[in-house]
Chain A
Amino acid sequence: MALLALPFILGDGYYLSVMNFIAFYAIVAIGLCLLTGYGGQLSMSHAAFFGIGAYTSAILSTRFGLNPLISIFIAQIVSATAALSIGSVVLRLKGHYLAIATLSFTIIVEILIIETAWLTGGLQGLSLIPYISFGDFIIDSDWRLYFIVWPITMLIMLFSLNLVDSRMGRIFRATKESEDIVRLFGANVKIYKIKLFVLSSVFASLSGSFYAHFVNFISPTAGSLMFAIDIIMVLAFGGFTILWGALLGAASLTFLNEYLTVFADFKRTIYGLSLILIMLFCPNGLLEGLKDSLSRLISVKNAGGD
């Protein structure tokens, strides 16, 4: 409800556009939250899939003149196929090894984007990407986009909440603790991990496609390592195992991004430093850390009352 009212309060302008960027971040973060927070598979490839989603859709509609809605759809199929082939190989790895393998994938995608300039525009980026349109109704304002991306974000959130609280969700959460034990209860963990990876990657890619068609311009930063770290930051703020936290994390990071622009290049330093601090003091994420200390505070208070 609050989300429905928000654009009327903020009005069409800067803050509404910030809200839309929060949604782009949040969709990616929800996917990563499912995969890493619940499923225990530490992946750094979500930036790459955001990039694949953005570039595939952009290339299809600029160079081949496809309707954005169709190219967005095809882009998801491309991403899902890529995720399936990468996932079935790298998901044999665990923990840090998986993180490094997926990180390498992100680097490869970034280099490919830069080097295939004839297709992707290379470092110049790709511009003049058409807006999404339904017939004559063109999604060309923050206002209109808001009513497209936020309902999608909420649907994805609802889907994820349902999934976590289902027979599949229980398997993911248990897989995070011990794959071997889960297997002893008749679950083919290998297949499930790949499916979750594909789903989570398609979320990232979907966000990328929407981003491309709204901003009308994409550059290799869309699929870059820095972006991969940004996404991890979102979860670090929001908590790895709180789906709603992904929204809060996305919001805090987007606002930080805006307010820290005055520091220019030092922004990264501040991010890095805060990421280290968060990992040191609340390895499950800032929000979760706060939640824990709050409940500890309450229990101490109760114990003191006796």
Chain B
Amino acid sequence: MLDLNSVSKNFSGLAALTDVSFDVKNSVIKGIIGPNGAGKTTLFNIITGVFPPSKGTINFDGNDISHKRSDEIAKLGVSRTFQQTYLFKTLTVLENVMLGRHYRTRSEFFACGLRLPGARREEKLIREQAMECLDMIGLAGKKDRIANKLPMGEQRYLEVARALATEPRLLILDEPTAGLNEFERDDFLNLVFKIRDMGITILVVEHHMKFIMKVCSELVVLNFGEKIAEGTPDEIQNSPKVIEAYLGVEEDIDY
């Protein structure tokens, strides 16, 4: 469903990504790993339209999204969470999730301001659907809290709920377990499986190896902006190139 074709990105001469190609098939969980600065978040930003690629194309469900605006890409069914959680801090927990319903709803300015029957009905529906998402991640009881006053773990969950509220076809998780403890991480693993079982394709960047090896059926390894390996977790774990990138190559030192 997602197809990257030799995507490159330069930031004023500095190559962040070079000729990265891979595809993500429907309803799988695909992981992207690589050392710090390998270009993982840059890749996510390009896919979601935060900035365009310098070269290459990205196809999503047959649409070329390489140069689309981020709101247009979102409307095609791509949603994401952020490495540094970004919740709207003047909105409540519930309102953050309700915002996720935005492009699935239609009421305009005057309908909203005048509270026309259609707008009122829609608002009620938004609230119910947002509550369902909160229920799923177990935060329904905290719906009226201010979002960024929640503990880190719950903020991660809330970001997932907000992304799910958009009814995405592709969900992108950027280091979703950073800041979570062992226990919360296992919990999160189950949530990710649950989301996949809903038929949502997942692309995930993660540093925590145990988590990513367990959760993904396929992995892409990036190093210095280049794809150095792709395969199942088993293949990746035994790939000499990957071990080299992570641990450094042992050299015989000549005296």
Contact = CB atoms under 8 A, between A and B. Distances in A.
A183 B68 CA distance: 12
B112 A177 contact: no
A186 B102 contact: yes
B170 interface: no
Given A167-B126, A180-B50, A195 B99 contact: no
A159 B113 CA distance: 5
B48 A170 contact: no
B123 A184 contact: no
B50 A184 contact: yes
A168 B88 contact: no
B107 to A, nearest CB: 6
Contacts of A199: 109
B171 to A, nearest CB: 13
Given A168-B112, A170-B91, A186 B166 contact: yes
A36 to B, nearest CB: 14
B176 interface: no
A59 interface: no
Contact of B99 (A159, A171, A189, A241): A171
Chain A, interface residues (CB within 8 Å), range: 20 to 34
B74 A167 contact: no
Highest count of chain A CB atoms <10 Å: which of B89, B90, B98, B101? B90
Highest count of chain B CB atoms <10 Å: which of A168, A178, A186, A199? A186
Interface in A175-214: 176-178, 180-189, 195, 199
Interface string A238-252: 000100000000000
A162 B114 contact: yes
Given A162-B114, A167-B102, A176-B90, A183 B109 contact: no
B58 interface: no
Given A173-B90, A174-B88, A184-B48, A160 B101 contact: no
Interface in A139-176: 159-160, 162-163, 166-171, 173-174, 176
A151 to B, nearest CB: 15
A99 B218 CA distance: 50
Contact of A189 (B71, B98, B109): B71
Contacts of A170: 91, 95, 98-99, 102
Contacts of A189: 71
B130 to A, nearest CB: 11
A168 B114 CA distance: 12
Highest count of chain A CB atoms <10 Å: which of B48, B99, B113? B113
A159 B105 CA distance: 20
B207 to A, nearest CB: 22
Interface of A: 159-160, 162-163, 166-171, 173-174, 176-178, 180-189, 195, 199, 241
Interface of B: 48-50, 69-71, 74-75, 79-80, 82, 86, 88-91, 95, 98-103, 105, 107-109, 112-115, 119, 122-123, 126, 162, 166
7 contacts: A162-B113, A168-B112, A170-B91, A177-B89, A178-B86, A181-B82, A185-B71
Given A167-B98, A189-B71, 18 more contacts: A162-B113, A167-B101, A167-B107, A167-B123, A170-B95, A174-B99, A177-B88, A177-B90, A178-B86, A180-B50, A181-B86, A182-B99, A183-B69, A184-B80, A185-B103, A186-B71, A186-B103, A186-B166
